[in-house]
Amino acid sequence: MVKTVVNGASEGEIPDCTIAFELASWQGYDEIVRHLLQYVKPKLSEGLQVHVLGRLVCRAAELGYEEQVSLFLENGAHADAAPDKTTPLQYAARNGHASLVLKLLKQHDADVDSRSGLGADKAILLVAEKG
């Protein structure tokens, strides 16, 4: 499937796989996400990588997809990314994904005091609230 998406692009053209990334990620298709990353990441500018991967890591954290969060972070996403003014740690804490919260803190040095956006709760407060 990934080859079909990629091979549909003209020679020298980078296919816009953002929608494919998002759909595969949202549905929990880790293997498709992994293949898309292998093909597309080397072809994207660093700024675009940060933007796309930042959105994806936040959504994966919101949904509790630990493997995808790790995959995105290992491939250049930032643990404190906040493209929509909420960090992965805040998403994971708000949605009760305790093991992901621990993973973000211990393995990826997420900022527990990060406060993104106006009136956003610090992650530590969300963790305390959700238990």
pLDDT greater than 80 at residue 8: no
Reply yes or no on whether the pLDDT at 12 is more than 80. Answer: no
More confident: 2 or 68: 68
Taking only Cα atoms into account, the Rg of the chain, rounded to an integer number of angstroms, comes to: 15
- Kindly state the tokens that stand for 43: 């072809």
If one counts every other C-beta atom within 10 angstroms of the C-beta of residue 48, the result is 14
What class is the 2-130 domain? mainly alpha
pLDDT of 42: 75
Phi, psi of 53 (to 5 degrees): -65, -30
What is the pTM assigned to this prediction? 0.78
What distance lies between CA 23 and its chain's CA centroid? 13
